[in-house]
Structure 1
Amino acid sequence: MSDPYSQSLPAADERSPAERRAVSSLASLYALRMLGLFMVLPVLVTEGQHLNGATASLLGLAMGVYGLTQALLQIPAGTLSDRIGRKPVIIGGLLIFALGSLIAAMADSIWMLIAGRALQGAGAIASAIMALVTDLTREQHRMKAMAFIGASIGMAFSVALVLGPWLAGLGGLPLIFGVTGVLALGGIVVTLTLIPNPPRLTHRDSTAVWSDVLVQARNRQLWPLNSGIFLLHALMVAVFVAIPAHLLQLGLSTAQHGWLYLPVLLLAFVLMVPFIIVAEKKRRMKSVVLTGALMIAASLLLMALATSLWHWALVLLLYFWGFNLMEASLPSWLSKVAPAGAKGSAMGIYSSLQFFGAFVGGALGGWLLSHYGSSAVFVGLGALMVLWALYLSRCPAPPYLTSIRLVSHGCSGEQLQRLQALPGVAEVSVLASEGAIYLKVSADAFDYEAALAIIETTGEKHGSQR
């Protein structure tokens, strides 16, 4: 298998054409899948009411059940991609996702819709895609690659909230799920034709290792972040169980909901950017995350009082502003505190809880709506976010560290001491079975070339971690 990165690599600060093509194709692949998942969020509860056996509780379950299967299979799918390759797992996951979309499109009962949504979630490819990013990019460009993919997901979310209601107005849920299935098949075409075939790498900062997952599950530094992403995505699904009915009552048809969401999402994104810059450049991440959490809590409490479209526009702006701040900041915080060589396992737990939160949010939101009404959904979830913010306020701010991976097929105790003594190095972890050394460093003070000189290796051409 040829390696497109071993030939004619540009200077370290310049991305190669192969890297640019890989990142753009992976971003489009991820966006296609997430677009398919997100389109149904703003319309499923209102459009699914005609299904046989539909109740508010079961519609909420249908909203979130994809998160349950996704959470259960997230880490196993990443591990499987280490063994059989990234592309087979991605293609298999997209085929499962397409099949689930087909079942959901044909559903005439709520239970058939739930089965289709569960099968959609079983096509868990997120971990394999992120591992492929690591395989296809060099260390100095990996943060940019991850940021680009993150931006593509955010754009997919925004487009989905507009496109979903429009498609629902044209053909209801069958059309939405039909388009979702076509998008999944389009993702297979992207995988086969546009994404390069790199050599597979063993890399503990990109995929989870089962033995380390158990260790990181007991890491108390990670649980504020794990619980935060769980709650954030539980809220995201739960609020969309309740919001569409309010907009309908105010005279806004389902097809028009997207025109309320679009300007709100765009403005929320613009307002988020300065805060993210402050979080990273001014090292105020804890304050920014707490600000986002309190924005979400305030918006949820105000949703219980909203009585006009202008009220909803303002509270949704506040909600998405806070949501974007937390969604962008929490994974960055996790990468800073995850131990050297354990980021993949820590991120596997984090991602699994993110999807499990979507499941709980759908099920809980539907149950609360069915038994106590939408005000209970908004006030109850707002109170939970306030409690989480109080929990986070007692946690230390994250150190501003990044992970570095160095190839080493043997390193003496004296060399390890010299590595540990380098300016900016906070932690060193040797994994002899992988032939690698992982470090947690302060990027401002760390000298990468000095570290390479110590271990007497030129390092990987593309597989070091960021």
Structure 2
Amino acid sequence: MHELHSDRMSGAETRAASGLALVFAFRMLGMFMVLPVLATYGMDLAGATPALIGLAIGAYGLTQAVLQIPFGVISDRIGRRPVIYVGLLIFAAGAVLAAQADSIWGVIAGRVLQGAGAISAAVMALLSDLTREQHRTKAMAMIGMSIGVSFAVAMVVGPLLTRAFGLHGLFWATAGMALLGLLVVAAFVPRAASHLQHRESGVARQALLPTLRHPDLLRLDLGIFVLHAILMASFVALPLSLVQEAGLPKEQHWWVYLTALLVGFFGMVPFIIYGEKKRQMKRVLLGAVSVLLLCELFFWRFGNSLDALVIGTVVFFTAFNLLEASLPSLISKVSPAGGKGTAMGVYSTSQFLGAALGGILGGWLMQHGGLDSVFLGCAALCALWLVFAVTMREPPYVTSLRLPLPPAAAQDGGLAGRISQLPGVTDAMVVAEEAALYIKVDSEQLDRTSIEREINAAPAC
């Protein structure tokens, strides 16, 4: 009988999950540490203008968006580790290029090269190779937590490192973290016995077109696009506001971000619990987008004192953290059985495109209209998102599962239909070449023994 119930993660699985989470954390630290400092320290670079500072902030998103899915496909063919090694070396090379640059164009070139080290899909695929089904969600949650923590740390450590060693030193530290991540993969992460073809952690070509035609998935893709566009554009304007409007020296900005992220992290938790427990995620989403819109208008109208900027930043990051945590969960709920990996691939590409556009747009608005135009531009993007989000249906409160099948069950053409009729199952799909069953289930209604019974009742070939 196939065992659906989970037990403890093995030592190898724990090493794989924690090691790959560290790789993600090092890479995200390197990517995000420049956000709170580039708009202030970057103006000392030769040729720097607000528009080019914005381009430097968002440039990594362009190459990341273009190369992320192709790198994942290549990892299916030549192996996960070679792609991860090459990606981290490319990322380190980009950081070295930026560290040696004396002009803004050199920093832009380095950021573009950093983004070309697009290893996210390959890392998630390797995680799938190294973990059993019942632990994969837990392992992916560890990576999700590492990304969130690294963003928070980057907002604080970036200003402190730059204060101590300058912008060049910050990029050298970024290169060192990329090489440290490479060592973690080589020495700490176990080696996989085989490559797992897995539709929950990789892009399936057959699922790509349906994903691009799915109205609610497209609304969520627009959401993450706008969220990261607003983030990057805001970091063109917020650091300058703290200096120019509030008179806070750039060396002291770290405490503003630390306060905002700590309060924002704990502030979002009750809303996440409310949305999930009361099944009101759409209401939570709309509320958070509305708060973001009001924050940008607040920055525009009242952002001329330190107290106002700190309060606005705290509320901004509360709403941002809430949306950053909620949107991937909504993608998982809304995507069809067997389509989560593809939906997440499109979602991530949208996120990086949003980061690129946000940096470029924020810099352009800053150069041509000043701080106020950046905040008003971000408010307009929030309003656009709100218009589309209002029309979204309440998401189904379901979980995605992938269950390996015995040979007889994998060839049973009627299995998916019978499984989908069971209480608590909203969608089911059998992928014979993977010998796997993908299902969407409502955990409050699911009867696991009935699924096991159907799987084991499949007629012998």
**TM more than 0.5:** yes
1:285 Cα deviation after fit:
0.8
1:432 aligned residue: 432
Is 1:346 aligned with 2:320? no
Measured in 2, the distance between the counterparts of 1:357 and 1:200 equals 32
Determine which of 204, 210, 223 is the counterpart of 2:205. 210
2:281 aligned residue: 285
Measured in 2, the distance between the counterparts of 1:97 and 1:339 equals 34
- Secondary structure in 2 aligned to 1:147? helix
Cα 1:94–1:457, aligned 2, differ >3 Å: closer, same or farther?
Answer: farther
Measured in 2, the distance between the counterparts of 1:398 and 1:417 equals 22
Q: Which amino acid is 1:350 matched to? A: Y
Is 1:371 aligned with 2:401? no
Measured in 2, the distance between the counterparts of 1:416 and 1:360 equals 42
1:195 Cα deviation after fit:
1.0
The aligned runs of 1:144-155 (5 Å cut-off) are 144-155=138-149
Measured in 1, the distance between the counterparts of 2:415 and 2:129 equals 27
- Secondary structure in 2 aligned to 1:221? helix
Is 1:188 aligned with 2:182? yes
| Number of residue pairs matched by the alignment | 450
The aligned runs of 1:157-306 (5 Å cut-off) are 157-198=151-192, 199-249=194-244, 250-304=246-300, 305-306=302-303
Percent identity, aligned pairs only? 51
TM-score (norm 1): 0.93
Preserved CA contact (<8 Å) 1:204 1:342:
yes
The range that moved more, 397-406 or 369-378, is: 397-406
1:295 Cα deviation after fit:
1.3
1:19 Cα deviation after fit:
2.1
1:358 aligned residue: 355
Q: Which amino acid is 1:45 matched to? A: A
Q: Deviations over 1:345-382 (max 9, x none)?
A: 11100000100100000000000000011111101211
Preserved CA contact (<8 Å) 1:424 1:442:
yes
Cα 1:193–1:84, aligned 2, differ >3 Å: closer, same or farther?
Answer: same
1:414 Cα deviation after fit:
4.3
The range that moved more, 205-214 or 40-49, is: 205-214
Q: Which amino acid is 2:307 matched to? A: W
- Secondary structure in 2 aligned to 1:15? coil
The range that moved more, 132-141 or 221-230, is: 132-141
Q: Deviations over 1:414-445 (max 9, x none)?
A: 43443222211111222223322222221222
The aligned runs of 1:301-340 (5 Å cut-off) are 301-304=297-300, 305-340=302-337
TM-score (norm 2): 0.94
Preserved CA contact (<8 Å) 2:415 2:430:
no
Measured in 2, the distance between the counterparts of 1:313 and 1:416 equals 53
Preserved CA contact (<8 Å) 1:406 1:452:
no
Preserved CA contact (<8 Å) 1:168 1:254:
no
1:191 Cα deviation after fit:
0.5
Name structure 2 gaps, 5 residues minimum.
none
1:69 Cα deviation after fit:
0.2
Measured in 2, the distance between the counterparts of 1:139 and 1:447 equals 18
Name structure 1 gaps, 5 residues minimum.
1-8, 459-466
Q: Which amino acid is 2:444 matched to? A: D
Measured in 1, the distance between the counterparts of 2:208 and 2:411 equals 26
Q: Which amino acid is 2:124 matched to? A: M
Measured in 1, the distance between the counterparts of 2:113 and 2:337 equals 35
Preserved CA contact (<8 Å) 1:43 1:165:
yes
Preserved CA contact (<8 Å) 2:241 2:303:
no
Is 1:21 aligned with 2:15? yes
2:150 aligned residue: 156
1:55 aligned residue: 49
1:389 aligned residue: 386
Question: Which structure has the highest helix share of the two?
Answer: 2
1:446 aligned residue: 446
1:389 Cα deviation after fit:
1.5
1:448 Cα deviation after fit:
3.4
Cα 1:137–1:280, aligned 2, differ >3 Å: closer, same or farther?
Answer: farther
Measured in 2, the distance between the counterparts of 1:306 and 1:58 equals 24
1:152 Cα deviation after fit:
1.6
2:94 aligned residue: 100
Q: Deviations over 1:170-196 (max 9, x none)?
A: 222100100000000000011111111
Measured in 2, the distance between the counterparts of 1:400 and 1:194 equals 37
Measured in 1, the distance between the counterparts of 2:292 and 2:6 equals 41
- Secondary structure in 1 aligned to 2:13? helix
Q: Which runs of 4+ in 1 moved over 4 A?
A: none
- Secondary structure in 2 aligned to 1:438? strand
Measured in 1, the distance between the counterparts of 2:179 and 2:415 equals 50
Q: Which amino acid is 2:420 matched to? A: Q
Q: Deviations over 1:138-163 (max 9, x none)?
A: 33333332222222211111111111
Preserved CA contact (<8 Å) 1:167 1:255:
no
Measured in 1, the distance between the counterparts of 2:454 and 2:205 equals 31
RMSD between aligned residues? 1.9
Measured in 2, the distance between the counterparts of 1:169 and 1:253 equals 11
